[in-house]
Structure 1
């Protein structure tokens, strides 16, 4: 079978056959390495002035000579990349980690890859078809306490309730993890409202999720900002929009965030950010902080541009800059609270 397909058994009635799943991204990378990895041999020579230069080596027939060492390195890299396992999405990881007997999935998927146990105790991955009525059955299984974990998406979060309803068998505390919230605050509120309704035995515990990749906080910041704005529009007070779900420092685009960012720019310009010089910052982010005369610009890049650019940086540099930025922002908020001028909306 070609390298851009991986076989999984798919049941059709009583039989099963392989399912080809396209992995064209990996195929493109491997093809690029096979044809673009530099393998031509070069030699060093000196000109009439004694300066050293390099030039490609050509054999007696005029053909380029290949470097055996470079070809071996290319082949080892291709072999290593081809052997890497596929990166699963969060939904597949949860389903395969805990199993379909524990996880109720309410999404728009018609098929999914699940882990099955063979008679000899070994595991295998197979593709499972999901009927149109699967979401209804999965919801009922969760509310009847037959399944302890519920995963739902935007497609599965419309018109359903998952709160600890007093008439339901499952009245356990809902610990609601907000994973991949998206950009729309109203959708986030709708999703959170699925586990927080009237006539419930107990309210849920909301937990926004972020990894240790600091640039990811940019997405939670967008939700926090839009929830603040929505609260100001609907209730006249910004902090009510997030229902206490986010802290003041979670909204990176607040006035305190903008002030902290300007201070970060000043520190980078002065060379006071250890591990990130002005030159490295400019080359990595593409943000120019200096005027033609070499002084710091008066109009510096806005917070939204900075947050978008930082997502493209290596993780180590992301975390380094975010640590400094968050420290500056926390200091701004703390100073405002101590002075009694903190804006709570």
Structure 2
């Protein structure tokens, strides 16, 4: 790639109108790269301070002790509580003033969303993927335009939209509890053992006043860091790792859990089951669909997912946990 000075000098040789077009395209590509890096956890913002309503250390394990100095590397399990700040109805209606914005209702779930423009991205094959952004009370996501026609999203009048949005706000919990895993203390001797997809360093202060600096690791890495036998992973941690998309979990009797993309949406699929297992797995709460003439089983990705996954893991224990690139 040419240097930035060469790029700017060549830009100056163009007309003002063409410069504006190229800078707009460059900005869109740059923003798409930054969004992708943030989503993948590889965007480097230096030493970042984590903030939440509460941090409580619930577990400590020493995973390395330096033979000369006795300095330790510790794996900390931290309970995190964050206050939810859902988007209000007035804020959602303000977004509808943007050009091309639409009020949407999902015909299957009854949830509301505001559709606005999102930057396009260039795929690996050179094709331009046009996207829209679906803004919901508690989250927002970018969706390819081509998948919208196949989805259950449809236009809604203002009264129906407002009722659905208000109902979801009423159901939203005040706080969200989650678990962090951090490696702190002496890091250099085990730096190569740490996940290489992100080298960001974080700091936080617990409710007891303890200050912690270290690197965040996934539940999968935490489960295998000190394992001497089979990996230990709670259903909640396993569900969170699967939703993140960077984990494959092998269960007993040839079953495997992983996140997949189906019809433009993300699901947690259970593969490797036999006909004799299907009835039992369905009774546990998994749902099935026939896709391309093949029966496939999925774990619900809503609030019921961890409980359903717990029943599956109780009957078919974890045998192996592996990390992969997110899809």
| TM-score by shorter chain over 0.5 | no
Q: Tell me which protein shows more helix as a share of its residues.
A: 1
TM-score (norm 2): 0.20
So what's the TM-score if we normalise by structure 1? Answer: 0.19
Q: Which one scores higher on RCO, CA 8 angstroms, separation ≥ 6?
A: 2
